[in-house]
Amino acid sequence: MATSRSAANSLLIVSAWDPELEHLRTLLKAAPAVARRTSLQAVGIGLVQAGIGAASVLAERTNPPRALVFLGTAGVYPGADKRLVPGTLAVARAVSLLSSAVARKKAYFPGPMATTFATTPTLRGSLERSSGAHAADVACPLAITSSMAAARQAARRSGCVLENLELFSVGRACAGACIPFGAIVGIANKVGPHAHKQWKATADQVMARAADAAFAWLARGRF
């Protein structure tokens, strides 16, 4: 569903893939007034495809959205704030590109290259107040970190506490289009060797919670 796809002043909610939008889609069907000013779109899985998808969605719209909010899941790094555990929500604050080679000091990013940004402060504050979720910094690698040693290194080198594959590229697409950007993520797993098993067990539940939070924010209509 891409409700009000090109409607003026609509809010655009995106996820990596369509199943992550199913619960929010159901909620919007029961709230036509909110649905009329909301668009939903899957943009693609992973750093590259999500960036291409988000840029394409924004370019195709007749009217730019008032803001874009990403909904997805995230893993939590070792040593993170104890309030950020699987099953809880977080609102993205700073988002950083992560390279395991850079973390190992085997490579470097060119100086002019954008490698970190902050989500839009007013939108972030609005999402925090509505959801009651804590703000957290998110690292975005090309691939999912699957060892404890790499997870600790990623946390230490990035300064982030969460990991998600798509946030960085979607945020950069928004920056290129001058669109306010924010994100609500459901923490589905601890980053490490058991992450995928944990994600499979909890992803649907935390995505439903993230969708509930997004719907509550949309229904308030204060951004």
CA terminus-to-terminus distance, the chain = 22
Length of the chain: 223
| Contact partners, residue 1, CB within 8 Å, separation at least 6 | 21, 25, 28, 40
Chain segment 8-46, per-residue pLDDT in tens = 679 999 999 999 999 999 999 999 999 999 999 999 999
If one looks up domain 11-220 in CATH, what number appears?
3.40.50.1580
Domain ranges of the chain: 11-220
Q: Provide φ and ψ at 46, rounded to 5°.
A: 95, 165
Region of 19 please: left (phi>0), alpha (psi -120 to 50) or beta: alpha
Output the pTM of the full model.
0.94
Chain segment 157-214, per-residue pLDDT in tens = 999 999 999 999 999 999 999 999 999 999 999 999 999 999 999 999 999 999 999 9
Question: What's the whole-number mean pLDDT along residues 85-99?
Answer: 97
Chain segment 107-126, per-residue pLDDT in tens = 999 999 999 999 999 999 99
Q: What CA–CA distance (Å, rounded) separates 161 from 74?
A: 10
3-state secondary structure at position 193? coil
* pLDDT, position 18: 97
